[in-house]
Amino acid sequence: MPELMLIPCPQCNGLNRLPADRLDDQPKCGRCKAPVLLDKPFELKQGDYASQVKGDLPLLVDVWADWCGPCKSFAPVFEQAATQLTGKCRLAKLDSEANQQLSAQLGIRSIPSLILFRNGKEVARQSGALPLPQLMNWLRSQGI
């Protein structure tokens, strides 16, 4: 029996059980049939948070706002990282203006902020944008 991994669907929050050796096969959500593993960041909303921090893949959240220049210049870096991390780490963007309650709950003081979650808990945080090589190094140092 292959090891099963629990991975929330970015579309419907349904928790999928996927064989660990089949993650490269573009698995679809058992509930809504959307792709479970994306090669791009998905949008994280307040109501999705509790479901999305769960599961066996780490979740990296980019906290941003529309008025924030550095956030906007970091966006393409984050997207590139997502293409390199498919199946290893899930990447999400949190609009801090549209989700003020969650931003406050996460203690966001400056943006952009990157927060890495593993098994539902915050394990690392980085304030400010990073170039892609540094971002990948930082994630590597976190075991990703």
Q: Give CA–CA dist 21/5, Å, rounded.
A: 10
| Beta strand pairing call for 59-64 and 113-118 | antiparallel
Q: Give CA–CA dist 81/58, Å, rounded.
A: 14
- Is-catalytic flag, 89? no
Going by C-alpha positions, the residue among 41, 37, 39 that lies closest to residue 28 is: 37
Closer residue to Zn ion (CB): 9 or 63: 9
- Is-catalytic flag, 71? yes
**Of 9, 12, 32, 71, catalytic:** 71
Which element (helix H / strand E) includes 103? helix 100-105
Sole window of 5-13, 17-25, 47-55, 130-138 interacting with Zn ion (rule: CB under 5 A): 5-13
**Of 9, 12, 29, 68, catalytic:** 68
Does 9 contact Zn ion by CB under 5 A? Answer: yes
Residues touching Zn ion: how many (CB under 5 A)? 8
Angle between helices 132-141 and 69-84 (to 10 degrees): 60
Residues 13-52 interacting with Zn ion (rule: CB under 5 A): 14, 29, 31-32, 34
Closer residue to Zn ion (CB): 51 or 142: 51
| Residues making contact with Zn ion (CB under 5 A) | 9, 11-12, 14, 29, 31-32, 34
Active site residues: 68, 71
